Structure 1
Amino acid sequence: MSDTPFGTALSAISRRRVIQSSMLGAALLATTGLYGPAQAQGKLKVAAIYTVPVEQQWVSRIHKAANAAAERGDIEYVFSENVSNSDYERVMREYSEAGHDLIIGEVFGVEDAARQVARDYPETAYLMGSSFKPQDDTPNFSVFDNYIQDASYLTGIIAGAMSETKNIGMVGGFPIPEVNRLMNAFMAGVREMAPDAKFQVAFIGSWFDPPKAKETAFAQIDAGADVLYAERFGVSDAAKERDILAIGNVIDTQADYPDTVVASALWHFEPTLDAAIEKVKAGTFKAEDYGVYSFMKEGGSSLAPLGTFEGKVPPDAMKLVEEREAAIKAGEYTVEIDDSEPKSN
């Protein structure tokens, strides 16, 4: 995946074109009688609103799942990327006015405005990434988050075994629950193999700033880290340049960093989106927390194949990884969900 965002002007033009096309589609559906309750007879109209480029890790997984649903004929899918928080409400309203059945996205910075839109369009279903829970005053507004703490914990076990200095660098975007729980689970995994490990934790204050993430990672390497937790793009580049290891998050980037990324925790948004599509078609969509669909036992997360590092991780660590992975999938082992902000020690 590319780290380069599309230009703001181009994105704005593309967004206008998508919205205009969507409004025309809604009008056609209305005249043919397919719009509304009869949606179960045809494809759902799904729109997505992203505040970052679709290349960004987290959003790329939502985009991938939506494209898969479109390719198999379940939905018609359009999207807008690089939408600023100040513009988010307007775009939500435009998609809602255009007659989309389901609108997905991430509203971490615009929670109140997004819920007001949902109240204004009660016939539209909204499935939004959020740090908050479903609320009674927005029965058509469901939330999700990437609860991939199971896979993050397993990558921590591997990191703890692979580190020689037992000094781990961690670079995140913002200290919000969605990020915190993954970092804390990773740290718990590291401590399985290195109880006295040292952690350097930093947040760059951005969801997509590879140069800043890279600079922060360099500082951690200079302070002794020999394994980096790459919650943001840019961290693995620093690890590659300094010839140390990195742990991936949400997507598998080992093909781009074959000698650097030893393991990754993958998020699969397909179970989340598929559940929402099914409920919208059945007319049973309501305010719910879809976070559970990201759990490993639900197929929402996994440990990426080790690829070039197959056979290079200490056997005792891999034995523990295999045992815990099986127990997690069987519901016999639970990785703690800790949303508190992780700290350096």
Structure 2
Amino acid sequence: MKSKILVALLLIALVGLGVFTYSCAPKEKPEEKPKFKMAAIFPGSIQDADYNTIGFVALQDVGKEYDLETAYSEKVAVPDAERVMKEYINEGYNIIWVHGAQFNGAANKIGDDYPDVTFILEVDAKPDNMKPNFWYMDRNFYTGFYVLGAVAALKTQTGKIGYIGGLELPFTHGEINAVKQAIRDLGSNAELQYIYVGDFNDPVKTRQAAEGLISKGVDVILSSVNLGNYGLYNAVKEADRPVFITTKYTDKKVHAPDNYLTSDLFDFSVPLKDIVGKILNGEKGGFIELKYGKGQARYTQFPISNVTEEINAKVQQIADDVESGKIKVIKNLETIEP
């Protein structure tokens, strides 16, 4: 009897020991998700009401959307870009957006050294060799300029249209070629004259270029400069006859309301929210295009100012057809077509 009692007590003790051992065993911690912090590098002032302003607004929108800690540096010179990016990375920022293709060289140089950091770059065509920790945004400039070209062709009275660019770059080739296609598609005899002033932010050179075009009979000027626009505004307002302008990135009607037609508007919040959402879900790299259309990253500002209702309606239909794909805008960034 005593032996049976001892056996029972021993079994109870062993079971208790097992339960105690199990309860005291270290529990596996759930895998911690990486904490994301995002920094942006801007080439100019965030108060320029242009390219840098819309970049800053997009960064703030993304931060609020995903509750991210964000930071930025403005007026960053190209030679300083590598240093600025490394400083952010050393501070724990693991999403770096370089707002401007002029910074792509610096990002490509250091990208392989930081595989846990995702870099967001702006390009004008899909790269042949995409890095696994890089997201590429095709800015798709040329599509919007097709619509601007249509506006100019329908508005001009002299049959002479001008284009002012800063530097001759592949995306400017695409813009000019898209304008030429729009003119052809409308069956217009309008002539396009283009000029590069050597700087996107030089008002004096831009004004001189505009005055030169106006002296040759141009009465609609398509602008592809940034702060240089301030020289353009003065040139058209002081012209001895009506001269009209289009711009890009933001609404600039306030600067020359009697001469302003429309702008090719950009909203970087749309693609950035898409990209950052994918990064947070584990997609470290990829490629997207800035789509043209209502509510997308790119769209023409409506209504067109200083035109008839008939022209407004026609341009709206053209924009709708570009958005739907009914009108196929040809992408040619290589050379300017004759």
The normalised TM-score by structure 2 is 0.80
Structure 2 residue aligned with 1:321: 315
Alignment of 1:200-239 (within 5 A): 200-232=193-225, 233-234=229-230, 235-239=232-236
Q: 1:249-306 CA distances to partner (integer Å, 9 max, x unpaired)?
A: 12211133211111211122122101111011111121x222x233337712111023
Distance 1:137 1:246 in 2: 38
Distance 1:156 1:131 in 2: 20
The question of 1:300 aligning with 2:292 is answered: no
- SS of the residue corresponding to residue 37 of structure 1 reads coil
Q: 1:187-232 CA distances to partner (integer Å, 9 max, x unpaired)?
A: 3223444632222211122232222212211111112111111111
Structure 2 residue aligned with 1:178: 171
Contact 1:271 1:294 in 2 (8 A): no
- Unmatched tracts of structure 2, length 5 or more: 1-31
Q: Which has the larger radius of gyration?
A: 2
What RMSD in Å do the two structures reach over aligned CA positions? 2.6
Alignment of 1:107-118 (within 5 A): 108-118=101-111
- SS of the residue corresponding to residue 34 of structure 2 reads helix
The normalised TM-score by structure 1 is 0.78
Report deviation, 1:307.
5.8
Contact 1:51 1:82 in 2 (8 A): yes
- SS of the residue corresponding to residue 289 of structure 1 reads strand
Structure 2 residue aligned with 1:263: 262
Instruction: State the identity %.
Output: 23
- SS of the residue corresponding to residue 120 of structure 1 reads coil
Contact 2:220 2:244 in 1 (8 A): yes
Contact 2:141 2:171 in 1 (8 A): no
Structure 2 residue aligned with 1:246: 245
Contact 1:161 1:313 in 2 (8 A): no
Distance 1:112 1:132 in 2: 15
Contact 1:201 1:342 in 2 (8 A): no
Amino acid at match of 1:105: V
Distance 1:58 1:323 in 2: 27
Instruction: Find 2:325's aligned residue among 305, 323, 331.
Output: 331
Distance 1:214 1:341 in 2: 26
Of stretches 225-234 and 69-78 in structure 1, the one that deviates more from structure 2 is 69-78
Distance 1:298 1:182 in 2: 22
- SS of the residue corresponding to residue 38 of structure 1 reads coil
Residues 1:191 and 1:319: Cα distance change in structure 2 (over 3 Å): farther
Structure 2 residue aligned with 1:15: none
Structure 1 residue aligned with 2:67: 74
Alignment of 1:142-181 (within 5 A): 142-181=135-174
- SS of the residue corresponding to residue 112 of structure 2 reads helix
